[in-house]
Amino acid sequence: MADDFFSFFSHHLPLIAIALPLLIGWLLDLLLGDPRWLPHPIVGFGKMIAFGEKRLNKGNHRMLKGALMAVTFIALVFAVTYLFRQALYQIPFLGDGVGVGIIDAVIIFFCLAGTTLVREVRAVFLAVDRSLEEGRMQVARIVGRDTSQLSAQEVRTAALETLAENLSDGVIAPLFWYAILGTPGMLAYKMVNTLDSMIGYKTERYRAFGCWAAHIDDVANYIPARLTALLMMIPSLCKGRGRLFRFVWLNGRNHASPNSGYPEAALAGILNCRFGGPHYYFGQLFDKPYIGDNDRELTTADMRRAVRVNRTAEVLMVVIVLCSLFLR
């Protein structure tokens, strides 16, 4: 029996080696999230962007300067990651790919944000149940809009919108780019997403300088956002709720972003609630269209259901990526 086990293990070792970095990285995120004591590469990305923006976002040709900065940073992250992985293959005792597998698992762990997002959204609902002011302060950690005047309903809505949108940005899209371009592509995507979150706003300060960063992010998320919505809907579609697909198709376009509306519409359709509407960003009012029309009161039970939807979509995506890796 032991011989059979070792024979099976040795025969399937290449497949196991392919799957392990992804499974280890994903499980680490599932168990740990983003520990505050652990240095995070996204923090480094943010410092790079802030450094470049401070020095380049002035004077003439701001759009060109922003485009050059965005493209350079994205290409730099991809190249450095790729070359570092290639260098590991040259180390004698790591030449069998062990070192690369370890590094890939760590990168995947850093690039996934599913558990941290769920924790933050849960914390928002717990906080707003204690006091409105505490809820506003808590939701300000995960949204870019001004939160000082939000009602309790708006705080909960903002948290669930972020849960849906960042399922795409923080889980599905990184895994999508990992399946296509490996960990260099995954890490480069995180630079794309960080650029957009920091300078991709249509405000006076960023409209020209962050234009390219925003458009690159739109392109990078075009397929992942729609895939996210589909993965969120699969359990409901399997139960015969075909109208949900039509709801997402019609409402996914009701967003300032060409992508974020689709996962938000999926969650709004599943919960039978309403997202969107006007919000303030950096002191400016942005009149966003509504997604859905049932302006009912959101509850902690809705948050728990939304978390289950997110986790199911995440598991489905991991399975899809594993299958794509095995079929190469």
**Residue pLDDT, tens place only, 227-257:** 999 999 998 877 767 789 999 999 999 888 8
Q: What does the pLDDT look like over 131-184, one tens digit per residue?
A: 999 999 999 999 878 888 899 999 999 999 999 999 999 999 999 999 999 999
User: CB neighbours of 134 closer than 8 A, spacing ≥ 6?
Assistant: 127, 128
> Are 220 and 113 within 8 A, CB to CB?
no
Closest CA to 324 of 225, 226, 222, 227: 227
Residue 279 has pLDDT above 60, yes or no: yes
Is the dihedral angle over the CA atoms 54, 60, 63, 66 positive or is it negative? negative
Residue 297's Cβ-count burial label (10 Å; 0-12, 13-18, 19+) is exposed
Which run of H or E residues covers position 58?
none
Q: At 112, is the secondary structure helix, strand, or coil?
A: coil
Residue 8 confidence (pLDDT): 45
Residues 200-222 pLDDT 10s? 988 889 999 999 999 999 999 99
Residue 237 has what pLDDT?
Answer: 76
Q: Return the minimum-mean-pLDDT range out of 26-35, 154-163, 244-253, 278-287.
A: 278-287
The mean-pLDDT minimum among 27-36, 191-200, 233-242, 265-274 falls in: 233-242
For residue 327, count other CB atoms closer than 10 A to its CB: 6
List, for residues 82-128, the tens digit of each pLDDT value: 999 999 888 876 656 778 999 999 999 999 999 999 999 999 999 99
Residue 318 pLDDT class (50, 70, 90 cuts): very high
> What mean pLDDT comes out for the span 182-206?
95
46-54: long-range pairs with CB below 8 Å, 24+: 46/194, 46/198, 48/73, 49/73, 49/194, 49/195, 49/198, 49/199, 50/198, 53/198, 53/199, 53/209
**pLDDT for the residue numbered 29:** 96
Q: Is the pLDDT of residue 9 over 80?
A: no
pLDDT at 255: 87
Predicted pLDDT at 277: 82
> Would you state the pLDDT for residue 70?
98
What is the reported pLDDT for 13? 46
Q: For position 207, what pLDDT does the model report?
A: 94
